[in-house]
A and B are shown apart, each in its own frame.
Chain A
C-alpha cells in the first residue's frame, strides 16, 4: 500500500516536472508546480502515517498554505505580465536575457 502511494507521489511529481518542461503557457507552469507541491505534501502525509509521527503532517498544512500564496502571487504576476506584454507564453518573455 505504502509503495503504491509512494509511486503515485513520484508519478505526480514527474508529471509536474514534465509539465514544467513542456508547457509554454505560464498558467500551465503554475499548475505543474502545484502538482509537484502536492506530490511532496502527499509524501509527507504518507510517511507520517507509516512512521507514526503525526507532527510531520504539519508540513502538509504548510505546503497547502504555501501553494495558496504561490498561486496568488503567481497569478498576479501573470496578470500584470499579460497587461504588459499581451502574452502569457513564457518563452516569449525574455526581458531578463543577459
Chain B
C-alpha cells in the first residue's frame, strides 16, 4: 500500500532517529563553501574556519559515543527518488564501525588542519588548501556515514576528487600534476569495478542498503556473490592502493605533507578497508581467499620496496601500502575487527609519522635520507614523536601498533599457522624499514649544511602541539582493543570473539620480529655492514636494485598498457584525420561544386528572366509616359475622339 512509509517505519524501529547526524558532513562542507568563496578575503583566518568546522564535527561525533557504545544504531533517512521506488530512500546511519571511522577522520583531521596552519603558512594558496581539506573531510564523513551504496559511491568519488586536487595542489610542478592525474586514473579503474559490482548487486538483489546486505548474502547464489564481492573489492584495491593498482600512492607524495598524512595514510586510503569491512557479509570464502592473497602480496611487496627507498615520504608511502595490505590480509582471514583495529592504530601512528616527516622537511627542505641525519638534537620534539610512532608501528610492547598487530597475528594463527609466519616476516620488514628511516633521519652524522643555509630548528608550536596529541593517540589508542581493558573495541564493533588474555607466544614472536628488523636495520641500513657473504652479493645487489625500482611495476605498466594505449590513440587520431576528416572535407567540396553549378544557373537563367521582365516593364513604361503630358485638354481630346470612334464602331 504505502511501501515507503512501511520501510521508513521499519528503519525507525530498528534505529534511533537522530537528525543531528546531518551536521557531521555539513559542518566541513559549509567550511568549504565559505573558504572557496571568501578564502582570499579571510586570509590567515581561513585556516581557523577549517579547524573550527573539523573540531565541531569531532565534538559532535564524540557526543554520539554514549549511544553507540550502548549498542544502538543512530540513523537519519530521507526519501530519494521515492516517486519511483522506495528502495532508493537513503540516509546516514551510525553504528560502531561508522563511529570508529568518524572519530578517526574528525580527530586526525582536526589535528592535521591545526598542523597545516604552521606547515602552509607561507603558501599563497593556503586558503584554497584548507577549502579542499574541508571538502575532503565532508566527503569522507559522508562516505562512512552513508547507509546506501549509492551515497557511499558518490562520496567515494568526491574523496577521489579531493585527493586529485590536493596531490596536484602545487600544480606548477609538472611532477605534481602528473601524480594527481595518475592517482585519479588509477583509482578510477577500481571505481569502475565498484560501480559494476553495485550494479550487479542492484540487478540481482534489488537493494543497495547496507542493513539489507546480510539478507542478500543469504539468498544470492555463491558464484554471484563471489563476483559481486570481488568487484567491490576491486574498488577497495584501487582506493587502498593494493597490488596491482598500488602505483599511484608513492607518486601521491608530491602533494603537501599534511595531505599525505590525512588522505594518503590515515583516512582515504583506509576507505577501501572500510568498504570491505562494511560489506564483509557479501564475501564468500573464495573471494576472501583472493582478498587474503592480494593483501599478503601487497604487505610483503611494498614492505620490501620501503626498505630500499631513499626519500622519506616514499618510504612512508610504501609503508602505508604495506600496512593496508596487512589490513586486507586480516579482512581476507575474516578478522574484520582486527583489521579495523589496525586501521585505527595505523591512522594514528602513520599520520604522526607523516607529520614528523613534514616537520623535518619543513625545517631542512630535504627529503633525501642521505642528506639527513643527526636531527635529534636540533628537533627534540619531532624526534620524540617520531620515535613513539616508529615504535608503535614496529609493534613495541604496550604501544598501539603492538595490540593491533597482535590481534591480526592471533587471527592468522587461527586461520592457518603458515600465514602467521608470513605476517611475522612482514612485521620484521616493517620494523626494518621504519628503524632505518628513524635512524638515518635522526641519528648519525649531520650532513654539512651550506653556510648560507641556516641550521635546522624545531618547528613552531602550532605544528608540534598536534603532533604531541597524535603521539598520545599513537601510544595509547591501542588499549581500546587490548585484552587489559576488556577490549571495548570488540564490543563496539559487535564482535563476540574477543580474546580474553594476551597470547604470550605471539607476543614473543612479534617481539623477536621487531628486534630482528630493528637490528638488521641498524647493521645494514645504518652502520652499512656487509652481512651478506661475498658469493651472494651480486644476487643481493640485483634484488636491491629490483626493490629500489619498485620491481619495475611502473615501467612494466608503461610498456604493457600506457604506451600501447597511447599508440592506439595516436593511430585512431590518424584515422580520424584521414578518414573522418577526409569524408567531411569531401562532403564539403561536393557541396561547394554543387552550389557553383547552382550559382551559374541562377545567374544565367533566373537572373535573366527577372531582368527581362523588369526591362520589358520599363520599356513599356517609357513609351507610355509620352502620352502622359499633364495637359488636361489633350486627355479630353483623347477621350472625345475615343468616344467618337467607339460610337462609330459600335453603332447599330
Contact = CB atoms under 8 A, between A and B. Distances in A.
Contact of A21 (B626, B627, B628, B633): B633
Interface in B597-643: 624-633, 636-637, 640
Contacts of A96: 628, 630
- Most A CB contacts (10 A, CB to CB) among B628, B633, B640 go to B633
Contacts of B627: 98
Contact of B630 (A24, A29, A94): A94
Among B629, B630, B631, B632, find the residue whose CB has the most chain A CB atoms closer than 10 A: B632
Contacts of B637: 21
A27 B506 CA distance: 141
Contacts of B630: 93-98
Contacts of B625: 98
Contacts of A97: 628-631
**Chain B interface main SS type:** helix
Interface string A11-46: 000000100110010000100000000000000000
Contacts of A17: 640
Contacts, number: 35
Contacts of B636: 20-21
Nearest to B636: A20
A21 B640 CA distance: 9
Contacts of B640: 17, 20-21
B333 to A, nearest CB: 113
Contacts of B626: 98
Interface in A60-98: 90-91, 93-98
Nearest to B628: A98
Contacts of B632: 29, 90-91, 93
Contacts of B629: 94, 97-98
A95 B631 CA distance: 9
Interface residues of A, number: 13
A94 B626 CA distance: 13
A94 B633 contact: no
A91 B633 contact: yes
Contacts of A95: 630
A90 B633 contact: yes
Nearest to A29: B632
Contacts of A90: 631-633
A93 B631 CA distance: 7
Nearest to A90: B632
A91 B633 CA distance: 7
A21 B625 CA distance: 22
A58 to B, nearest CB: 25
A90 B637 CA distance: 14
Contacts of A24: 633
Contacts of A91: 631-633
A24 B640 CA distance: 17
B274 to A, nearest CB: 99
Contacts of B631: 90-91, 94, 97
A72 B569 CA distance: 94
A25 to B, nearest CB: 11
B46 to A, nearest CB: 86
B626 to A, nearest CB: 7
A31 B633 CA distance: 15
A5 B628 CA distance: 38
A55 B213 CA distance: 110
A71 B631 CA distance: 21
A96 B629 CA distance: 7
A90 to B, nearest CB: 5
A90 B630 CA distance: 9
A46 B91 CA distance: 111
B629 to A, nearest CB: 6
A27 to B, nearest CB: 13
Nearest to A23: B633
Nearest to B621: A98
A24 B633 CA distance: 8
A84 to B, nearest CB: 15
Contacts of B633: 20-21, 24, 90-91
B110 to A, nearest CB: 99
B248 to A, nearest CB: 92
A29 B630 CA distance: 16
A98 B627 CA distance: 8
Nearest to B627: A98
Given A20-B640, A94-B629, A97-B631, 6 more contacts: A21-B637, A90-B633, A91-B631, A93-B632, A96-B628, A98-B626
Interface of A: 17, 20-21, 24, 29, 90-91, 93-98
17 contacts: A17-B640, A20-B633, A20-B640, A21-B633, A21-B636, A90-B631, A90-B632, A91-B632, A93-B632, A94-B629, A94-B630, A96-B630, A97-B628, A97-B630, A97-B631, A98-B628, A98-B629
Interface of B: 624-633, 636-637, 640
Closest 5 CB pairs of A and B: A98-B628, A94-B630, A97-B630, A98-B625, A90-B632
